[in-house]
Amino acid sequence: MVKDMTHEEISLYIINTLTENKKAEFESALDELQPYDVAAIYKELPEKQKSRFLLYLKYDLLADLMEELEKSEQLELLNMLGIEKSSKVLDLMDNDDLATLLHELSPEKIDSLLSEMDTKESNAVKDIMSYPPETAGRIMTNRFVWIRNYYTVREAVDKLKSFAEFAETLNYLYVIDEDSKLVGVVSYRDLLLAGEGDRIDNIMFERVISVTVTTDQEDVAKTVERYDFISVPVVDENHVLLGIITVDDVIDVVIKEANEDIEKLSASGKAIDFDTKTLVAAARRLPWLILLLFIGLISGRIISSFEDTLKQVVALTFFMPMIAGMTGNTGTQSLAVVVRGLISHDIDKKVIFRLIMRELGVGISIGATCAILISIIAYIWQGSLTLGFVVGSSLFFTLIIGTLAGTIIPIILYRIKIDPAVASGPLITTLNDIFSLLTYFGIATMFLHYLM
Q: Which residue lies nearer to its own copies by CB, 45 or 377?
A: 377
Q: Does 154 bind its own copies (CB under 8 A)?
A: no
Collect all residues with Cβ–Cβ distance below 8 Å to 283 and sequence separation of at least 6: none
Task: Mark the segment that binds its own copies (CB under 8 A) among 69-77, 135-143, 212-220, 306-314.
Answer: 306-314
Q: Which of residues 374-393 bind its own copies (CB under 8 A)?
A: 374, 377
Q: Which of residues 177-206 bind its own copies (CB under 8 A)?
A: 187-189, 191-193, 205-206
Task: Mark the segment that binds its own copies (CB under 8 A) among 76-84, 132-140, 163-171, 409-417.
Answer: 163-171
Q: Which amino acid is at 106?
A: S
CA distance 304 to 252: 49
Task: Mark the segment that binds its own copies (CB under 8 A) among 47-55, 110-118, 329-337, 441-449.
Answer: 329-337
CB of 269 to its own copies, least distance (A): 7
Q: Does 412 bind its own copies (CB under 8 A)?
A: no
Q: Which of 12, 240, 286, 452 binds its own copies (CB under 8 A)?
A: 286
Other beta carbons within 10 Å of 257: 17
Q: Does 320 bind its own copies (CB under 8 A)?
A: yes
CA distance 121 to 129: 12
What are the b/e assignments for 316-336, b being 16+ CB within 10 Å? beebbebbbebbbbbbbbbbb
Q: Does 408 bind its own copies (CB under 8 A)?
A: no
Give pairs for 370-376: CB < 8 Å, separation 24+: 370/326, 370/395, 370/396, 370/399, 371/395, 371/396, 371/399, 374/319, 374/322
CB of 119 to its own copies, least distance (A): 28
Q: Which of 104, 178, 307, 348 binds its own copies (CB under 8 A)?
A: 307
Q: Which of 207, 349, 417, 449 binds its own copies (CB under 8 A)?
A: 207
Q: Which of 98, 97, 57, 64 is nearest to 80 (CA)?
A: 57
CA distance 417 to 260: 17
**82, 90 contact by CB (below 8 A):** no
Q: Which of residues 419-438 bind its own copies (CB under 8 A)?
A: 426, 429-430, 433, 437
Q: Which of 85, 285, 384, 447 binds its own copies (CB under 8 A)?
A: 285
CA distance 162 to 362: 61
Q: Which residue lies nearer to its own copies by CB, 202 or 365?
A: 365
Q: Does 12 bind its own copies (CB under 8 A)?
A: no
Q: Which residue lies nearer to its own copies by CB, 86 or 430?
A: 430
Task: Mark the segment that binds its own copies (CB under 8 A) among 98-106, 119-127, 136-144, 219-227.
Answer: 219-227
CA distance 25 to 347: 58
- Secondary-structure breakdown of the chain: helix, strand, coil percentages, each rounded to the nearest 5: 70, 10, 25
Q: Which residue lies nearer to its own copies by CB, 112 or 276?
A: 276
Q: Kindly determine how many residues on this chain lie close enough to bind its own copies according to the rule CB under 8 A.
A: 119
Q: Which of 268, 384, 419, 445 binds its own copies (CB under 8 A)?
A: 268
**94, 143 contact by CB (below 8 A):** yes
Q: Does 325 bind its own copies (CB under 8 A)?
A: yes
Q: Does 215 bind its own copies (CB under 8 A)?
A: no
Which H or E run contains 176?
strand 172-176
**263, 398 contact by CB (below 8 A):** no
